[in-house]
Amino acid sequence: MADMPAFDYHIDIPGTTIFDGKQAMKGYALNKMCYSFNKAENREAFKADEEAFMEKYGLNDQQKQAIRDRNVLGLIEAGGNIYYLAKFAGIFGLSVQDVGGLQTGRSTEEFKDYLKSQA
Amino acid sequence: MAKILGGITTSHIPAVGNAIQKELYDDPYWKPFFDGYPKVHKWIQDNKPDYVINIYNDHGLGFFLDRMPTFAIGAAHEYKNEDEGWGLPSLDPFPGAPELSWHIIESMVADEFDITSCQELPVDHGFVVPMQLFWPGAPHHPDMPKTVPISANTVQHPIPTLKRALDFGRSLRKALLSFPEKDAKIVVLGTGGLSHQLDGQRAGFINKEFDQYCLENIVHNPDELTKISRMELVEKAGAQGTEFLMWMMMRGALGDDVTEITRNYHIPISNTAAGTLLLECAA
Ligand SMILES: [Fe+2]
């Protein structure tokens, strides 16, 4: 997809990607695949053949690679929305603390401690 | 004419459903959270609402990016809870109130709010967890009210402004008060929040000071909060803390004169600063 350079209605918030129209268009195929994981049959089909499943949903190379690498920040960069990505993470039994740790370079325990430290 | 008894807000973290199933009420991690609810239970028992308006935000079960309504109102006989991708057991369907749904839709569209009506709407944890918290055993609690779900978009920007959310609630109030069923008693829920962020290098962000500011002002001074821009809300409440919009929608439905019955605030439950607030409307 061609970039939309003038398409920016947001302030810069470090460590935060605003999921707007631009991201939603970029990540449409990826999010659509993850949305399909609401259904157990699609989770099973993905597990049986990840490559074929990604192909079926038309993921681009960047999205496919981020899925292969289980790279959460890479998935966001590729247009993924965390609510749909959470369904992808669910296939592997990952909690939101696991996912938080993966994105911030912490272990799950370190991430939980960080949450507690803000009380 | 109908009467609005009050409004209740709560966080709707998915892990709560699991904790309820395992009855972790006295577990040291969960106790400070569950301690926020007995007063709510008593109030519900004393007041026995006939209808519950459940204002929540769908998280990718009922809606996808192909069609993303900014404000959607359920107009069905029942609402099914479905698998959100984690394979958790689903609850039985919640009984709807289509007469009330269509009354709200008619009234609000006449009031110039553009509503998406939904005759099928699978409901996710945002809707279900608060029901379980307030009516234990839901939907099989003996006093389970009939429900109208209202979902606002916080998945994809642009999301509604805080002012629009409050105004939505005020228009909803007009609709509810004009519902012709004599002596119908209605409670309004606002679910989600408070500060949290699930995504990005800033994942895990929580902002106690900002949450306390919101909690203070939403009771008697909600208009003050409409000064907060949406980007400021993302910055200060976290990317998913934008769910505070549901609290604003609920607040608008209560009118000016409210009494705070109970409040609870606890960090953290899962990745979230959990907040609960019960406001009673003047008789
Ligand atoms: Fe939520």
Q: What is the pLDDT of residues B54-68, one digit of tens each?
A: 999 999 999 999 999
Q: Count CB atoms within 10 A of the CB of residue B142.
A: 6
- Using CB atoms, which residue from B65, B86, B201 is nearest to A28? B65
Q: What is the pLDDT of residues A44-90, one digit of tens each?
A: 999 999 999 999 999 999 999 999 999 999 999 999 999 999 999 99
Write the single-letter amino acid at A71: N
Quick check: A3 pLDDT over 70? Answer: no
Q: Which residues are bridge partners to B151 per DSSP?
A: B56, B72
B127: domain CATH number? 3.40.830.10
Instruction: Give the 3-state secondary structure of residue B56.
Output: strand
Q: Measured between alpha carbons, how far is residue B212 from residues B39, B202, B207, B225, B282 in Å?
A: 20, 21, 9, 12, 24
Q: According to the model, what pLDDT value does residue B255 have?
A: 98
Pick the CATH number of A21-91 from 1.10.274.50, 3.10.180.10, 1.10.700.10, 3.40.50.150: 1.10.700.10
In whole angstroms, what is the distance from residue B283 CA to residue B279 CA? 12
Interface check for B271 against chain A (CB to CB < 8 A): the answer is yes
Q: Measured between alpha carbons, how far is residue B65 from residues A15, B47, B256 in Å?
A: 23, 39, 36
Rg of chain B's alpha carbons, rounded to an integer?
Answer: 17
A7 pLDDT tier (thresholds 50, 70, 90): low
List the structure tokens of B205: 């962000």
Sort out which chain B residues have CB atoms less than 8 A from A99's CB and list them.
Answer: 198, 203
Interface check for A20 against chain B (CB to CB < 8 A): the answer is yes
Contacts of A93 (CB under 8 A, 6+ apart): none
Write the single-letter amino acid at A108: T
Residue ranges per domain, chain A? 21-91
Q: According to the model, what pLDDT value does residue B231 have?
A: 96
B77 is known as an active-site residue: no
Write the single-letter amino acid at A58: G
Count of pairs with CB atoms under 8 A, one residue in A, one in B = 135
Q: According to the model, what pLDDT value does residue B89 have?
A: 87
List the structure tokens of A97: 């603390």
- Residue B207 lies in domain: 3-281
- What is the overall mean pLDDT for chain A? 94
Taking each helix axis from N to C end, the angle separating B244-252 and B162-177, rounded to the nearest 10 degrees, works out to 40
Q: Which residue has the tokens 């004009």?
A: B178
Q: According to the model, what pLDDT value does residue A8 have?
A: 65
In chain B, whose CA is at the least distance from the CA of A91? B86
Going by C-alpha positions, the residue among B198, B195, B197, B189 that lies closest to residue B213 is B195
Domain count, chain B: 1
Q: What's the ipTM? A: 0.96
Contacts of B256 (CB under 8 A, 6+ apart): none
Q: What is the pLDDT of residues B72-119, one digit of tens each?
A: 999 999 999 999 999 888 999 999 999 999 999 999 999 999 999 999
List the structure tokens of B14: 């998915």
Q: Which residue has the tokens 């696991």?
A: A98
List the structure tokens of B19: 């904790």
Contact B275, B10 (CB under 8 A): yes
Q: What is the pLDDT along chain B (283 residues), one digit of tens a residue?
A: 899 999 999 999 999 999 999 999 999 999 999 999 999 999 999 999 999 999 999 999 999 999 999 999 999 999 999 999 998 889 999 999 999 999 999 999 999 999 999 999 999 999 999 999 999 999 999 999 999 999 999 999 999 999 999 999 999 999 999 999 999 999 999 999 999 999 999 999 999 999 999 999 999 999 999 999 999 999 999 999 999 999 999 999 999 999 999 999 999 999 999 999 999 999 7
Going by C-alpha positions, the residue among A80, A86, A5, A65 that lies closest to residue B65 is A80
In whole angstroms, what is the distance from residue A41 CA to residue B178 CA? 46
Cβ within 8 Å, pair A87-B200 = no
Cβ within 8 Å, pair A96-B271 = yes
Q: According to the model, what pLDDT value does residue B11 have?
A: 97
Quick one: what percent of chain A has pLDDT higher than 70?
93
Q: According to the model, what pLDDT value does residue A1 have?
A: 46
